Structure 1
Amino acid sequence: MFGFEVGHIYKRRSDIHGQFGGQQQGGISTPKSHPVVLAFTGSAGTQHGYEDGWSDDGVFQYFGEGQTGAMTFTGGNKAIRDHLENGKELLLFEKVRRDGSVRFMGCFTCIGFEFREAPDTDGKARQAIVFHLLPQTDFIEVSVEDEPLPSTFSELRKRAFQNGEEAQPGSSVETKQKAFKRSVSVKLYALERAGGICERCSQPAPFQTSSGKPYLEVHHITRLSDGGPDRPDRVAAICPNCHRAAHYSSDNLNINQQLLEKVRQKEASLGDV
């Protein structure tokens, strides 16, 4: 992922900001010229009332930025909340040494948030924003083969767009369940919309699955990794060859731009949800 390997240690200033730019201080950095949001966690944040960490159900609970007073959805907090909508990857790093060394934890998806009372830097109680972050690798295991379809295509389309709406407050268990439901709904919708025909090359799926369904792969067009929930109008069901080209071809940027336009035209022809 962007040259980073999970578990490896990097220098924040040279290895990360040297590549992306962005704010070099604070817990959330939002480079302007790259499709990423950089989030940093570490024990030093406890002095400001931040208590990041894993929940029992495998969700990373990440406190938003803002050292005094109630946290608001501005700056980095807004960037994390809206990173899917804005087509940006959320990269999480853990501070490990005072010299600026950080460990790459991976690419995450914000699946929701909650408001929690917590002390600020001055020890005063305030409303804090706690984001629920899930590793994108968790979504790779989500299967659509056995998921029941709504009775009509229009109902499936409506469900996919509804499940893709902005994350709302809730427990980490609830938001994790909603995220998986969203991911499955979007994948199911893209496959049904394609109707067994690759949405890039317009050729029939190369073979049938064991359940008799045309085999196509769901590709996230506006994102640089494959594996998180996304907007239904930014995913495409394509054949394996086109999928590899969209990721690894020297012309992959043009391929994805053309694919995005095809999907936009198809969605426009289907009308409003």
Structure 2
Amino acid sequence: MASDVMGLLALGEVAQTMDRRAVMRLIGALKPAQRSKGEAPHRPFLMLWAIGEAVRGMPRKQHWSVVRDAVGPLLVRHGGVTSSREAALFPFWALRNDGLWEVEDAESLTMTSGGRRPLLSSLDEVNPLAGLPKGVYELVVADPELAAWAVGSLLLRFFRPVPGGLLRDVGLADLMAGRETTALRPLVGETFTDRRTIADSYGGNRVRGITPLADGILTVYSDEKGPYADGRIPEVNWIAYTGDGLSGHQELIGGNKAMAEYQRERRALRYWHRPYGGQWTFETWAVIVQRWMRWGEGEDGLRRKEFVWVLAPVPSPLEHTWPASVMAALNEDTGQVHDRTEGVVLAAGVDSGTARLDSYERYKRLARAAHERAKSRTRRSTLTTVERFLRSAPAREAVILRSGGLCENPTCLGHPTERTEADAPLLEVDHVQDLARGGPDVPEAMIALCPNCHALKTRGKNRRELQKVLLAEARLRHKSFSR
């Protein structure tokens, strides 16, 4: 992030001609100091106070004594520090390195022996003027929506929860009134033709699947065309999101490391989705309620271990707006990885000597793994439904294998041989008896259907008669493959 700030400075964007995105890039690059007891959000406190002063029409630059007497008590009241005068010194000097603060007559200040910051006595004596850069200040004053966006980003990233009375004390209560859930940009539902236009409007990387936008808030992208096997989880409509890394075993680095931090801190992220042939849409805010490890296939065609992050959609990034089912899942989550790779690798067709198995032996191993995992599933909850879906990987893989890539409905009149753009079978593995009604996660109770037949089985007028036919067909095929 420091390089981003230096890049902005080198390009001269911290100037009178600065635009909204440049301001948000600076805000998004801001990081709190790391102390032994955790983060020290001194600089975010100073930024909130400075934005509040600008919004209220106060001068752009104010003397050290004014900043000290205003920000010091704020840090004591809301930041847990003990000495207000010394607490104000650190952000007053350090924020300069973030391209968001200027100090006049800095060269006349006497520095500490290490040269890291000025002596408090020297600041008191010189009493220099300091404040937001001119370009930042003028944009914040002229654009209340930008000011609210900047404040919303700072609050969401550094204050969880927001201390009571903080907005009032920094002069931002009126600005943020009614903007709790709408201050941040983009808004849910915004669409773009491609990743380039998203980055042009809101910053962020144009290629990575897990990356922050300019305001520093993490964003994940899911493209129905691939290359990852993301998707909505039936019945609960939560999202199974594949981790970062196209080939080889995925590791807890890069985007996956950022996801783990968001899971630990229970922070909301943005979820973007593009249906096949459609546009990118900011579909929802979401929080991570579980992390799984499963076997998948990399871009190189080889089996690899991959993360699956379970995302629960929420109406806003503010925790008090999250549904009870999401809160229950978060409270139940231990943060540990649910590792389902051991045992599934054998079922997937590779034995301990890495020899390939024929389809019938693979099917039998998958079926055995599915039955083992179905034994202890009796508790009903949203999270249990998610777990059942993800744990049923062997059963689902067995059914796809058994189908040979064709719809298993014996009366199919749709498009049984249709393929996806990636040349995969256009099939949906379905529980003949719904999971919510106690349907087991075993191959003999599941069937592969084309989208037409799946719709008939789920919503058709004669669905109950069709379900009987499908259950009989699934059992017959299972029996045949199990011999």
- TM-score interval, normalised by the smaller of the two chains: 0.3 to 0.5
Q: TM-score, normalised by structure 2?
A: 0.28
**Which structure has the highest strand share of the two?**
1
Q: TM-score, normalised by structure 1?
A: 0.47
